[in-house]
Amino acid sequence: MHDGKLTQQEAMIIHQLLAKHGITQYEVVGAVEEGKTLPGSRGPRDIELLSGTVVTSTTAYSFWLDWVDGDYTLGEQSGEWRELAPGNIASDFEIRAAQQRLREKGASTL
């Protein structure tokens, strides 16, 4: 991460991992670098261990970008990749705002 934003490499890896879950329209919010550079980095802090939330127009998922057994993961093996409870979504302004943007974007492409 740089200046609170995902690097191009991190964004590409997350996009590829989300596509495996059938998620193609999303926003990543609340991403936090966890202080460890992951394999595949071209330089310091290019690809880091990250946690955050993937938001779709209807739900949100907690994730933990990591390197496990030679592959990137969103935390599926550790249980970090999970759907957030509706109550958690309803009480989080940043998630609700991202969902609204995604709904508006979806409506404009119809």
Quick check: 109 pLDDT over 80?
A: no
Q: What is the pLDDT of residue 110?
A: 52
Mean pLDDT of the region 54-81: 95
Tell me whether residue 2 is in a domain.
no
Domain hosting residue 63, numbered range: 8-108
Instruction: Decide if 33 is inside a domain.
Output: yes
- Amino acid at site 2: H
Question: What are the tens digits of pLDDT across the range 8-43?
Answer: 999 999 999 999 999 999 999 999 998 888 988 887
| Residue 1 within any structural domain of the chain | no
Residue 72 pLDDT greater than 80, yes or no: yes
pTM: 0.90
Give pLDDT tens digits for 77-105: 999 999 999 988 988 999 999 999 999 98
Q: Is the pLDDT of residue 51 over 90?
A: yes
27 found inside a domain: yes
Residue 44 and residue 37: Cα distance in Å, rounded? 7
For residue 3, is it within any domain? no
Q: What is the pLDDT of residue 107?
A: 75
Who contacts 43 (Cβ-Cβ below 8 Å, separation ≥6)?
none
Residue 19 lies in a domain: yes
Q: Is residue 22 part of a domain?
A: yes
Tally of structural domains, the chain: 1
The residue among 27, 17, 22 whose CA lies nearest residue 102 is 27
Q: How many helices and strands (H and E) does the chain possess?
A: 3, 5
Distance, CA of 101 to CA of 9 (rounded, Å): 24
